[in-house]
Amino acid sequence: MSFCLKFVMPSDPRYLCVVRGAIGPLAAMMGWDESDCRAITLAVGEAVANIIRHAYHDSAGGSIELECRENADGLEFILLDKGDAVDRTKICARALGCDQPGGLGTHIIKDVMDTVSYEATAGGNRFIATKRLRKAI
């Protein structure tokens, strides 16, 4: 039986620390080192924060579902929300290294995760990211 962790939470940034408190230990238990655990936790936190900011416009009244699934290669993170659709023109739109604030979260997610997708479905927005665990040969 594979592991699956599911959060259903309001779009309130106070819950971000709860998510982080679970993702880091989960990644460590799967075998990632401390640096990777921090990066994975950061990337998932950025994805949730993006929903709060951009799908729900900082309103705490929305709902967010986060599933973390263990698979043969590593972990899969699925986020669902019913807020505004993702504006694809803003994904990694700002160049890295520029001295303007904002737009860095999607770069972090893309850099840390192995695959990332953003989908609009009838039930809302779905974000899926995977992180492979590279086993020592």
Partner 1 sequence: MRISIRDAGDAKVVEVDGDVDLGSSPDLRRTLFDALLHASKLAVNLAAIRYIDSSGIATLIEVLKDSQRRNKKFVLFGLSPAVQQVFHLTHVVRIFQIFQTEDEALGSV
Q: The tokens 């840390």 sit on which residue? A: 112
Asked if residue 38 lies in contact with residue 24, where contact means CB atoms within 8 angstroms, the answer is: yes
**Which residue in this structure is represented by tokens 């929300």?**
81
Query: Does 65 sit near partner 1 (CB under 8 A)?
Result: no
Nearer to partner 1, 4 or 26 (CB): 26
**Are 85 and 128 in contact, with CB atoms under 8 Å apart?**
no
Smallest gap from Cβ 100 to partner 1, in A, equals: 7
What single-letter DSSP state applies at residue 91?
T
In this chain, which stretch among 25-33, 42-50, 116-124, 126-134 interacts with partner 1, using CB under 8 A?
42-50
Give the other-Cβ count within 10 Å of 7's Cβ: 16
Q: Which of 7, 13, 28, 65 binds partner 1 (CB under 8 A)?
A: 13
Is 99 near partner 1 (CB under 8 A)? yes
Question: Under DSSP, is residue 54 helix (H, G, I), strand (E, B) or coil?
Answer: helix
Q: Is 96 in the site for partner 1 (CB under 8 A)?
A: yes
Tokens of 71: 């698979």
Verify binding: residue 45, partner 1, rule CB under 8 A.
Answer: yes
Among 49, 85, 91, 133, binds partner 1 (CB under 8 A): 49
Does 35 bind partner 1 (CB under 8 A)? Our answer is: yes
